[in-house]
Amino acid sequence: MILDAETRADDWFRDRIFDACVLGTGPAGITLARKLARHGLSVGLFEAGGFDLSPDSQDLYKGITTGQPYYALDAARLRYFGGTSNHWGGWTRPLDRYDFEPNPANPLSGWPIAKDDLDRHAAEADEILNLPADTPPHELLASAGSALATRRFRFSRPTTRFGEKYRDELAGSDRIRVHLNANLVDLHLDERRRSVVEAIFRSYGRDDSFAVRARTFALCLGGLENPRLLLNIASEIAAGLGNENDLVGRYFLEHPHAPVGRVVVRKPLTDMLVYSPTPAFMRRAEVCNFGLRLGDMDQWNAGDFTGPFKPEPQCTIDFDALLTDEMKKAPAACPAHVGDAFVACEQTLNGENRVKLTAEKDRFGLRTIELAWRLSDTDRHTLKTAAMEVSRRMAEEDVGRMSIVPWLLNDETPTLDQLWGGNHHMGTTRMSADPKRGVVDANLKVHSLDNLYVGGSSVFATSGHANPTYTIVQLALRLGSHLAERLQKS
């Protein structure tokens, strides 16, 4: 059933206690709600926007940024049914096994769960995200094994827009009740301040609020809104919920994305090649994880890219002539042999990269956010090492040649034209077994509360280099299984 909170009746929530109140209808929220419903549980699913983009809702995502140039915060995500999946590019990859382990170059790194804990949900995540079967990656370098590993991305095609894909299913569900235009403005705790008893909402066209009761609550509002809500909900705990150790909003992570050069190769590039560091190389070079992509950026940035490049006619121009032309910036005569080098990398954990509240309030009285994002020396070193290691091996093996852009060679601060984020907002309610190092535990429960959970990329303990949506869905499926077991036991 799908309802509009603007037209709510007084009896909608009277005498009703949902098994779970899920806040947000992006990949995490809808996945979690569907999982719980399949276990026979009742779910109240709440979306702050309507079925499509509207200024009333989207304006509530406004905020300011400091540090490295970044996108406008009300353009970096979407506040309507289906959430940010509505402009998702469809790139997927699970985290690497070693992403879950501590990395000496990244203090505080390490997850309280292992890759296997998420991979048991891989088949279900593949189906949700419309993913093809995985295939082995191509290889260009013979000597890569000691330092570099080839990787593949899979592409969600047609790209899963969660609101579109599951709208009919949710409308027909007798266990999930969706509420549109329902803006979370407060959470009320019990007398012990250990449990959330009700969530308070407002809609746009009415001045009154309404309360929803549930046995459990799950914030699935995105990597910037999850901490914003926890910090704002200070009516009963001044520092905000789950913020006893001043960690909510800290350790914001992005994936720095940067074109790092051009490549000319002897054999045609038939598929996007991706190189990542081996764990041994990461330790040796003191870097974080990265994915260096080789190929035609115009093609892989197209919305329908699935992996292989369009076939090019047989090239008859020799390698030296192609390289000389490219060094002179002449148009490529054989596009399959000439392409881009691009890096997306993991960032180090930095407590000063954070979401914090400003003094300004939105129409519902919640304070807006400032996002502080900067690159560390290790982040720059990772980007540079990725470019240097691949380019050096290409030259040594004589399989191709690669250039590196001046700002990276010269250690200059990149502009937004030279380095940007992926609209990947991670780490701001990070997962840790230790309450002094993270906001949620291994089961995604806020450490200091008994029934408040968090879904989405804000719980990532580290980011790896993989795009986050696949991991978000795996985590939501795992959370659904955990909550179902817990709720059915009690």
Partner 1 sequence: MLNQVTIADPAFFQRHATKGISEALSTSRRKVLALLGGLAAVTVAGGMTAYATGHGGVVVRDGWILRADDLARLGLE
Do 1 and 177 contact (CB within 8 A), yes or no? yes
Tell me the closest approach of the beta carbon of residue 339 to partner 1, in angstroms: 11
Least separation in angstroms between CB 23 and partner 1: 21
Is residue 420 at the binding interface for partner 1, with CB under 8 A as the rule? yes
333 binds partner 1 (CB under 8 A): no
Residues 211-270 that bind partner 1 (CB under 8 A): 257, 259, 261-262
Helix (H) or strand (E) holding 389: helix 377-397
Under rule CB under 8 A, residue 301 binds partner 1: yes
Q: Which residue has the tokens 């051009």?
A: 262
Q: Which one, 183 or 423, has the nearer CB to partner 1?
A: 423
- Of 39, 87, 152, 437, the residue at the interface with partner 1 (CB under 8 A) is 87
Which C-beta is closer to partner 1: that of 42 or that of 385? 385
- Comparing CB distances to partner 1, the nearer of 168 and 304 is 304
For the segment 42-61, give every residue that binds partner 1 (CB under 8 A): 52-53
Cβ neighbours, 10 Å, residue 127: 10
- Phi first, then psi, for residue 440 (nearest 5°) are -115, 160
What tokens were used for 190? 């019990």
Q: Answer for the pair 65, 420: CB distance below 8 angstroms, yes or no.
A: no
Cα 125–126–127 angle (5° rounding)?
A: 90
- Closest contact distance (angstroms) between CB of 235 and partner 1 is 34
Nearer to partner 1 by C-beta: 394 or 444? 394
Residues 6+ apart with CB under 8 A from 413: 68, 407
| 3-class DSSP assignment, residue 148 | strand
Euclidean distance between CA atoms 353 and 371, whole angstroms: 8
The residue within the footprint of partner 1, chosen from 99, 225, 340, 346 (CB under 8 A), is 340
Strands 257-265 and 183-189: unpaired
Strands ordered across the beta sheet of 257-265: 148-151, 273-277, 290-295, 338-345, 257-265
- Among positions 64, 285, 315, 399, the unique one binding partner 1 when judged by CB under 8 A: 285
Least separation in angstroms between residue 44's CB and partner 1 is: 26
Q: Amino acid identity, residue 251?
A: Y
Q: Which of 1, 211, 330, 416 lies at the binding interface for partner 1 (CB under 8 A)?
A: 416
Q: Which residues bind partner 1 (CB under 8 A)?
A: 52-53, 75, 78, 86-87, 89, 257, 259, 261-262, 284-285, 297-298, 301-303, 320, 323-324, 327, 329, 340, 342, 381, 384-385, 388-389, 391-392, 394-396, 398, 401-407, 409-410, 415-418, 420, 422-423
